Amino acid sequence: MAELYLVEFRGSRKEFFYNSYYHNFQIPEYVIVQVDRGEDIGLLTKRIDKEIEFSEDTRPRSILRPANEGDLQHKELLHQKEQEYRKEIVGMIEGHGLPMKVVDVECQFDGNKLTTFFTADHRVDFRALVKDMAGRYRTRIELRQIGVRDEARRLGGYGICGRRQCCNAFIRNFEPISTQHAREQDLPLNPAKISGNCGRLLCCLRYEAQFYQDARQRFPKPGSSVKTKQGDGVIDRIDIFNEEAVVVSHEDRVYFRCKDRDIYEVEGEPVEPPPPRTVEGTEEEVSEEDLKKLEGE
């Protein structure tokens, strides 16, 4: 069975390919791969050691060969052309009066396709534009409308954590994210704190949610009266990262911490729900309407 590799293309697009011709690769390394109606160039980023089941429609194509010096020079030349084409296409769009914002322009390595990525508030009738572009560039034209998350992925950047955006680093598919994920992680519902460069909720709210859920299941809910090795009290909150419950003592109202194994009895249901979260630095709660805007697509 041929080795399976992950190849990354422009805009952080990632796809699987087989090393059908049994080349010796160095990771990372640029390679020429087989694509629909031609060839493209991408960066070999990872060898996949585990078995992955693919359907007949999604079966990976082949890596044709490692990229040589001429291929890399051609790649740089294409990048320069893409910048020129982008300016020209923006002018064409303005000429047609279309409500579109060009995000990126990408040329396939063999010149068989030119893809323009754009955002728009609504569906756009760009048939006349495609006809003009086909006459100008003499190749297959594709206009692809994308959302704001995909726009952020193609443009790249760094998150408020200081690391590369998750969508550029390892996330392959976007999953639905809601403000409930932020609530479950005890985060302040401040749009500036829980939204990414795309203006939507942070991707990490989704993939970190299970960690918080698993950690909380080991403890009684905040507000529960408990008996512990350190004394009796009411759980104020759960310190997820230190894996401890913060408890207020019944006797002298002093805070103390304990592990889940130190809690040996829970008395009844929580006495009151946690207080609502507010925008940091103010006393007003964020409106549900504003929070819904963050969920978006």
- Domain extents in the chain: 4-67, 73-146, 220-290
168/215 Cα distance (integer angstroms): 28
For residue 255, pLDDT over 60 is answered with yes
pLDDT at residue 280 is higher than 50: no
pLDDT of residue 278 exceeding 80, the answer is: no
| Chain centre distance of CA 56 | 27
Residue 274 has pLDDT above 60, yes or no: no
Confidence at residue 8, expressed as pLDDT on a 0 to 100 scale: 95
Q: How far is CA 202 from CA 1, 119, 121, in A?
A: 39, 20, 21
What CATH number does domain 220-290 carry, 1.10.10, 3.30.160, 2.30.30, 2.60.40? 2.30.30
Q: What architecture (CATH level 2) is domain 73-146?
A: 2-Layer Sandwich (3.30)
Alpha carbon of residue 257 to chain centroid? 35
In the block, which residue shows the tokens 């007003």?
284
pLDDT, residue 273, reads 44
Q: Indicate whether 268 pLDDT > 70.
A: no
For residue 210, give the nearest of 183, 185, 187 by alpha carbon: 185
Q: How confident is the model at residue 277 (pLDDT cuts 50, 70, 90)?
A: very low
Rounded to two decimals, what is the model's pTM? 0.78
Give the model's confidence band at 283: pLDDT under 50 very low, under 70 low, under 90 confident, else very high.
very low
CB-count exposure of residue 245 (10 Å: 0-12, 13-18, 19+) = buried
How confident is the model at residue 279, as a pLDDT?
42
Question: How far is Cα 113 from Cα 137, in angstroms, rounded to an integer?
Answer: 10
The tens digit of pLDDT for each residue in 165-181 reads 999 988 888 889 999 99
Mean pLDDT of the chain, nearest integer: 89
Domains 73-146 and 220-290 share a fold: no
**215-228, pLDDT tens digit by residue?**
889 999 889 999 99
pLDDT in tens, 10-66: 989 999 999 999 999 999 999 999 998 899 999 999 999 988 889 888 899 999 999
* DSSP structure class, residue 283: S
Nearest CA among 195, 186, 109, 182 for reference residue 149: 195
